[in-house]
Amino acid sequence: MVEGIEKLLINAYRYVRDLKLLLNDGSLDYAVVCAILAAEELAKANMLSQQLEEHEGEHFIEVPICEHRMSWFRCHKCKLREAKRLLGNALIIESSRLGIARFPFRLGVYDVEASHPILLLCAFVDFEDGEWKFGIDYNKHMLELDLLKRIEEKLDSIAMKHDKA
């Protein structure tokens, strides 16, 4: 179980490193992909960490099955729900709502929350309704200052907890 947590943390930190490189390079859509994947790995590491605490001293711990009848590790909805619990409004990467929006922001935009459908929009070119589509429009500062920072804080917290073990 500890080995799994370590592998998840290493992978999440790699996504964070790539996210920073992509932001600096101006590849904002690919940066969103890395942010969402890092958030999913964070959620899995946190779930395993909680399982380890709850079942201390047991030799075998099973990864739970989610309400969608699949391994919790394979369910994007469950992983992102856990990521939202951990990261809160930092998962919202575009908003005009007071208290969430970052300057500069656009009035009247809908919230764009990091999710698996957003990951797909940012990773692949698609043809829909007679138009080629790729990526999303969002405020880079929310990704950089909110989501990236919160992911790093949570990863560091889990890593410190298991460095003591």
Q: What residues does 22 pair with on adjacent strands?
A: none
* C-alpha distances in Å from residue 47, one per residue of 28, 113, 133: 29, 21, 35
pLDDT in tens, the chain (165 residues): 788 899 999 999 999 999 999 999 999 899 999 999 999 999 999 998 988 888 876 667 777 788 888 887 888 888 998 998 998 888 877 665 655 555 555 566 667 778 888 889 889 999 989 999 998 877 777 788 788 999 999 999 999 988 754
Look up the pTM and report it.
0.85
**Contact predicate 124/64, CB 8 Å:** no
> Where would I find the beta strands (DSSP E) of the chain?
92-94, 112-113, 126-128, 131-133
Instruction: Round to whole Å and give the CA distance between 74 and 12.
Output: 16
Instruction: Round to whole Å and give the CA distance between 20 and 140.
Output: 11
What is the structure's pLDDT at 101?
52
